[in-house]
Every structure is written in structure tokens, then in C-alpha cells.
Structure 1
């Protein structure tokens, strides 16, 4: 198995809870032996951690209950990539026609027009993408983005109170809408701002700028 190290607060989220704080990197103990390689790791503010294996399987911790060995999430196709916002997770399937799944907090329409589900632990197919071709996913604080790398069109949904989606209007967007054209890359994290690179090679930013 790939040797993944962690440090900082533990609380049983990434290794056996021998102590609650680690000042030096320590190996994970929660992944099963059949996991040969981890290709991506994301985490939420709620201390939930999600691991993506090279086989396209997802493993996630439960902040409320320590598991000695994690089990792969079932009822989901092989996954190509994952991302995390403040309290929500997106995953895109590794299929010819990719599908997007979301779980966690949907209080700002991060999962399109699904019912507002709080701390949902299992991936749910995101509705509203059936007629949209996309290849890559990105998460902002309370927003979700879907990029078509063939046409360079960016779609999105979620919180837009501070123009996190880069469109006019202050309300949350619970429908997946067309946002920007000529986009080749998106940069975002748990913050309320987003950067995009366009085909002209320039970098653009939008969202919260209260700290300039």
C-alpha cells in the first residue's frame, strides 16, 4: 500500500486513536491491505477524509465513529476524481459519459436542485447534468463547478452571495447553469473565491475579496 503520512489532529480519523495530536508524520492505519495505491485525498471541515484509490474506489472516514479498517463506498461506479468544499464532496465517474455524485451539506444548492440534505454520508447522483457534457469537477466553499474540456464551457451551481460563481445576482443557484466560456482550468478550495484560466492565457478571479 502507498505509504501515506499524516500529522496534526487525529481523533481517530486517520490512524488508530493512540493519541489525539501528532507533531510528526505518522503512517495511516485505517486503509485495508488490498488498497495498493492512493491517488488523491480530500477532507472536510467536519473531519471527514475521503481517499481515492488507483482502482477508482472511494474510502471515507466517519468523524463520529472510528473504524479500524475502512470499507469502500458501494453502489457507485469507478471514480476518476474527487474534490471538497466547506461541507460537501463531489466525485466524477470514470466513464465515457461521466456522472457527478455529491454528498455532505447541500444547504446552498451545491448538488443542484436535490433536497437540502445535511451531512449525507453516501454519494447521490446529481440531477441536472443529464444534457450537459463535462469532464472535470471543482468545489469552492459552497459551490460546485463542472468543466467541459472539449468546448471549454464552465457550468456551476451553489452559493453566489459573494459572486463565488462569477455571475451577477446574490441568490444561491440551485440549478446547474452555464457560467463562463473559454475556460481551461479552475482553481478553488474551501474559500469563497475562485480563479479560472482562460484560453487567452490570462488568470481571472471572482468572489470574496474582503482581505484584498
Structure 2
């Protein structure tokens, strides 16, 4: 059987390509996590929200520039704590009109439909952590729109390692939860726009 020259050349270079492929810096390896306090990397942390519109489709938006701290000890995960702040004023969507609606003032002096033009930052502060393997249940208090309510996050460890650019030890987590916006005083258009809002959280923390 004769092989095309291109196939032979590719086969010959395959080992070299395999050797030169870089390793992804973050790995799902708990032994890489070092005890201490970490600070959120705002450039690589975000919270996505999703709410149904008229039963037809979902609105999806993002909060970026997440700030906050994580304190963790792999030998005592139940003692871990997280405190993050979310700048609601920086909410963004794929629709300029929707983003403007979320942040516009109420008409004729009325309350805003959603957040208003100068919304306070939201904040989540954990009260307990229950870990199981690479997953954890994080209970805490979410303050949004001036209202504080208990919220439970289903969290997952997504990786740890050294950032190749700033050389900082970094750990990453994702989490999901569901809230009812009516509990936080955001009532507009319920039930045409769903009361239930799904949150998807992705945060990278860098060791201090």
C-alpha cells in the first residue's frame, strides 16, 4: 500500500506537535489549592442571568467586574467563606434597548421598572459551605435592590494553577442558583417576564 507524501509528513511531525502542545494552566486538581485568602479577578469573573420572556424565549444578560474575596483551606473546606460584590450598574445585554430599560429611571417620578439609573451593588456573603468532592453547597445571603434574602449556590471547583501571565496562583469556581426577583422588590411584568431568574456564576480568584 502506498501512502501520500502529505500523510507521511504529517505522521512524522505528529510526535513533535504533541510534545509542543502547551498544558492548560488550570487543572481540576485539589492538591494545587493552597490555603489562604484569594481576591476575585474582575477581568475573568462574571455572572450571567436568564429570565423567560412571554413564554417564547429567554432574556440573557451579564454582570461583569465581580469583586470580592475567598478564604479557603483544603484541609477544612467547611470553614471556607466567600464575599463577592456585583456592580449592577454595569449590567449588559445583547440589546441596547433592553439594557437601557433595565437602568432607566421610572416614568414621571415613579419607581424604575427594574434597577434604575444608579443601582446599588449586589453582594453575596456565604454563611456555610458543605463540600463533596469537587462540588459544594454554599449557603449565604444575597443583597439585591436593597433587599437581603438567603440563597443557596450549587458550586463546582473548575480548576487551579499558576496564571502564566501574572504568575499568581489562581483557583476557579462555577455555581448556579435560582432566585425570585419579586422577593427583591423587582415586580415589573410578572408573570409575562418570569419571576424566576437563573444565575450562572463563574469566578476566578487569585491568591494574595
**TM-score w.r.t. structure 1 length?**
0.26
Q: TM-score, normalised by structure 2?
A: 0.27
Q: Comparing both structures, which one devotes a greater share of its residues to helix?
A: 2
Higher relative contact order, chain-length normalized (CA < 8 Å, sep 6+)? 2
